């Protein structure tokens, strides 16, 4: 179980990095509060990386990941929409969360099967 938790943390770390890399290029031109948004998104993916693999729903792993990633990024989307009032950006955050959640779920499913 400890190995699975470490793998899940690693997957969450990678997912968080994938999500914040595009944000980092804007960090110097944005207000200082933007850095907190970056840290928040990163922490969210660390948490989702730990949560998604251990949810046991009777659905395909990709669907479980999409649903949890989509819903898990809803608070970030609400915060971003409140800041910029741009619906396409808000929608992109949700879709990106679903896709990244799918990748987290599928990667953890494959890696957990390999260590058994």
- For 54-112, write each residue's pLDDT tens digit: 999 999 999 999 999 999 999 989 988 888 788 888 899 999 999 999 999 999 999 99
Please give the pLDDT value at position 85.
Answer: 83
Please give the pLDDT value at position 80.
Answer: 83
- List C-alpha distances in Å: 80 to 56, 62, 65, 102: 30, 26, 22, 22
Please give the pLDDT value at position 73.
Answer: 94
For tokens 């929409």, name the residue: 81
Please give the pLDDT value at position 101.
Answer: 97
- The b/e string for 44-63 (b: 16+ C-beta within 10 A; e otherwise) is bbbebbbbbbeeeeeeebbe
Q: pTM for the complete prediction?
A: 0.89
Please give the pLDDT value at position 15.
Answer: 96
Reported as a pLDDT band with limits 50, 70 and 90, residue 23 is: confident
């Amino acid at each position: 179980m400890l190995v699975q938790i470490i793998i899940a943390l690693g997957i969450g770390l990678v997912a968080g990095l994938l999500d914040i890399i595009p944000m980092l290029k804007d960090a110097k031109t944005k207000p200082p509060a933007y850095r907190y948004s970056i840290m928040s998104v990163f922490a969210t993916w660390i948490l989702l990386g730990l949560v998604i693999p251990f949810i046991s729903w009777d659905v395909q792993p990709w669907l479980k990941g999409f649903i949890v990633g989509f819903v898990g990024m809803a608070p970030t989307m609400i915060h971003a929409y409140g800041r910029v009032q741009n619906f396409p950006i808000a929608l992109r955050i949700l879709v990106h969360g679903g896709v990244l959640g799918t990748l987290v779920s599928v990667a953890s499913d494959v890696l957990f099967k390999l260590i058994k």
